[in-house]
Chains A and B, each alone.
Chain A
Amino acid sequence: MSLPKDLLEQARLLAQPGTGRGRPRQASLRRAVSTAYYAVFHLLSADATAQASPVGPAGLRKRVQRSLQHTTMKTAANAIQSSPPHPRILALISGPIPSPLLSVARGFVRLQDERQNADYDLGDHFDRNRVQGLIREAERVFRDWDSVRNTDEARVFLAALMFWNLWSK
């Protein structure tokens, strides 16, 4: 399996009931949320990099992939899901944003924000149902991305994930 799919599977395992007390521990639930986000992050960043960079020379794609920034990706995803989408997006896409792409953008933003809470906000309690919802959201992003990734709209989205902060130039 690929890294993104492995991470998604790992997230599911972390959210399952633990041995002994029955309920998963807070640490496991928080790691599950973080892992589900990174599954989606790597799913999208791999395709964004493949679109932006040639395969060779060796190591170039990995270098390009490391340049992706979470905040830029979130801003780009918000620009897609806003109503109406940001003018810089509309200038490149004719017609409405496909619903699976909206779902991917929405899921990415939701998971990134929850990942931040899971990793840093100790005052925020993560219960099992909340985490199940987030893992299911990640699964939906995988399905929807698979159905839309070869469209022009998805190619604009991938470029936005990488270059959004430079698009005002």
Chain B
Amino acid sequence: MASNRAILPDRGPQVSIPRNFGDLEVVRVDVMNREAEFQVRSADGSIVGPKFTTRLSMVRPNSEEDTKKFWKLLVDDLFRVLKQDGELPEFVKDYEVSIDEDSTGDPALYVKILIKPARGEADNATVDRWNDFVHLVQDRLIRLRLARLPYVQLGEWRRKR
């Protein structure tokens, strides 16, 4: 598959497969089955061509599949599963996803969990509940054996103006 990823890193690569030309795009991520599906988005915006299924652990940093959208969908699906299983606490208001290098230069996935801010200083029991959820998300991501090291952070949720 040919790619111009080096020129257009934010959009994902443009690819050429038989009879289908356009941008490679993730269309589905399934954390339960640890796989993702990719297709081609053509110039007119439609998704075309066959689906490519890839193991989540095989999405290598800076590869054609390693796009911000892929990681956002992965975390979206993880939170969907947590909610479905009753493991999403009420203090979680939102989350942010980004990819970068960590402090030692290793490829990293950052998930910032935005929590409902405590009034004043939170008590230890409340902070422990926040941390327990940070650890839960971290453990779930580690178990997926991703090629990017997962880091889970806390942050206060602020109403958007």
Question: Which positions in A face B, CB cutoff 8 Å?
Answer: 16-17, 71, 74-75, 78, 81-83, 103, 106, 109-110, 112-114, 116-117, 125, 127-130, 132-134, 136-137, 140
Contact = CB atoms under 8 A, between A and B. Distances in A.
Contacts of B145: 82-83
B151 A127 contact: no
A127 B155 contact: yes
Contacts of A110: 134, 138, 151-152
Contact of A133 (B103, B134, B142, B149): B134
Nearest to A17: B121
A129 B118 contact: yes
Nearest to A24: B121
Interface stretch (B47-55, B63-71, B79-87, B122-130): B122-130
6 contacts: A82-B145, A83-B142, A113-B151, A129-B115, A133-B154, A136-B128
A130 B130 CA distance: 9
Main secondary structure on B side of the interface with A: mixed
A147 to B, nearest CB: 16
Contacts of A81: 142
Interface in B105-161: 115, 117-118, 120-122, 124, 127-128, 130-131, 134-135, 138, 142-143, 145, 149, 151-156
Given A106-B135, A110-B152, A127-B156, 11 more contacts: A17-B121, A83-B145, A109-B151, A110-B138, A113-B103, A113-B151, A127-B117, A128-B156, A132-B122, A136-B131, A140-B131
A140 B134 CA distance: 14
B102 interface: yes
B48 to A, nearest CB: 37
A140 B124 CA distance: 11
Interface string B5-17: 0000000000000
A132 B121 contact: yes
Contact of A136 (B118, B120, B127, B155): B127
A3 to B, nearest CB: 23
Contacts of B131: 133, 136-137, 140
B104 interface: yes
B138 A106 contact: yes
Given A83-B143, A130-B155, A137-B131, A112 B103 contact: yes
Closest 3 CB pairs of A and B: A116-B103, A127-B156, A133-B154
B149 A78 contact: yes
A50 to B, nearest CB: 26
